[in-house]
Amino acid sequence: MAIRVMLDTNDLSALDPACELLATYSDLVPNPAELESKFPHSRIILIDRGLGDPSGKASVADIETGALTIQDVPGWLDRKKTEGIDFRTIYESRGEFDAIAAAAGHRSFWHWVATLDGTAFINRFKALHGPAAVQILPSSKLDYHADLSLVFEDGWNPTRPSLNRSGLRREVNAAISSASSAVSDLHRIASLI
C-alpha cells in the first residue's frame, strides 16, 4: 500500500503534472482526452457538481451545498454504473457519511471524505487504509489554488499497475519456457550445420 496525494481545483491552470492524481469539475472539461494529454503522468478525475457533465466521464458526485444532494445519490450511482463509469465515488463531509450510506443502499461506491482541517482519520476505517480519499487541506493552507487529499485505497483510480506476484510469476515462467524452447531450437539447427 502506498499513500498518494491528490490535488483538486476549479482552476485548470492550477493542475500540476508533479501530482499523480488530479481532480477537477467535469463541467469545466468538455474534452477529457485533451486535458489528459497535457498530464501524461497523472490521472485526471472528473467531479460532477451538478452543473453538467458534458463528456459523461465524471466518476465523483460532489454532495455539498450548491452541488448535488443526498437525494441525488441513488440515481447518480445507478446512472454511472449503467454508463460503465468505474471508481464511482461520493465526495462528502464527515457529517453526511451515514445519510449518504443510507441513501446509496446496496449500491457499491468509494468514499472521498472532506475534513479540510488536517484530519486524515475517519471513523469506520482503519487508519491510513481508508476511505478511498480524505481531503485534508484547503487551498488557503497550501497557498495554492487547489485542495489536497490523501488517497489511501490502492484500488481507487490506480495510477501504476500493481504487482501481482502470481501473474508476474506466470509471465516470467512463460518467458523462461519460450527462451528455453528457442535455445533448444538453436542447438538443433547448429547440430544440422
- In tens, the pLDDT along 50-109 reads 999 999 999 999 999 999 999 999 999 999 999 999 999 999 999 999 999 999 999 999
pLDDT digits (tens, 9 = 90+) for 117-173: 999 999 999 999 999 999 999 999 999 999 999 999 999 999 865 444 455 566 666
Residue extents of the structural domains in the chain: 4-162, 164-193
Domain with residues 4-162, CATH architecture: Alpha-Beta Barrel (3.20)
Q: How far apart are CA 92 and CA 62, in angstroms?
A: 7
* Sign of the alpha-carbon torsion through 181, 184, 188, 193: positive
Contacts of 28 (CB under 8 A, 6+ apart): 10, 12
> What is the pTM (predicted TM-score) of this model?
0.81
Per-residue 3-state assignment (H helix, E strand, C coil) for 124-136? CCCCCCCCCEEEE
Residue with cell 467531479: 47
pLDDT digits (tens, 9 = 90+) for 1-23: 689 999 999 999 999 999 999 99
State the helix-helix crossing angle for 73-82 and 97-104, rounded to 10 degrees.
50
- Provide the CA 55 distance to its chain's centre, in angstroms: 17
pLDDT digits (tens, 9 = 90+) for 79-90: 999 999 999 999
